[in-house]
Structure 1
């Protein structure tokens, strides 16, 4: 009796076919920008390769920000460079979804230490509220 041994090319063909099936199914049910399609294919291929035990060398490409960092700070919101979502405050989002502190986030994207984690208008509103409540003033009569 002859055992069937999968050769590397046969294994690679199966991996490519599985990748195509998974990507096709995902794209048919989810809106994916054309520019993100190559990244999606590469991610699915790498993930399936790891599962099958034939992981290829990870691509050492530097992750690209979802938006231009210079255009990520607006008066009423800040755009997360990881996923392109808008927030008044980024700190909790970064920790819960990416396990990043504000300093790690700034370092990862090459941002200045003064890069805000809170939208400017939101920071101003919170500041006004704190001042109105009397926070930051010394008590009289003590």
Structure 2
């Protein structure tokens, strides 16, 4: 298993040099890669995983939101990214148990947007301001 672990560590090291990763992400990725590399080396068929890369309850964080499918970190999960997994935002929310109207953005950005909208007061009529 040691060679598989070394290979997995090299891959994760390269990934971590390109993007910020949490300890949990690094550990999880090393484990999955080492297992996958071992399975390939032993000729076992590698089945496409249906399990989630990230716990949906822990995916929405203060400064990032993690994709539950691949584990990548974003400020906003876009339709384009979800399309790369063959999902629409609605299907993604349903699959991972999120509320239908939940914005797929990190908490800090969600708060900033909410504050900006309150400052703009778009619900008041234009004529009242003059």
TM-score (norm 2): 0.57
Which of 35, 39, 50 is the aligned partner of 2:32? 35
- Given that 2:79 and 2:89 are in contact with CA atoms closer than 8 Å, whether structure 1 keeps it comes out as no
TM-score (norm 1): 0.54
Distance 1:100 1:112 in 2: 14
How does 1:1-142 map onto structure 2 within 5 Å? 27=7, 30-31=11-12, 33-40=30-37, 59=47, 63-109=50-96, 111-114=97-100, 115-140=102-127
Higher RCO (C-alpha 8 Å, min separation 6): 2
Runs of 4+ in 1 over 4 A off after TM superposition: 40-46
Structure 1 position 122, deviation (Å): 0.8
Distance 2:81 2:56 in 1: 16
Distance 2:70 2:81 in 1: 10
Alignment RMSD: 3.5
Structure 1 position 81, deviation (Å): 0.8
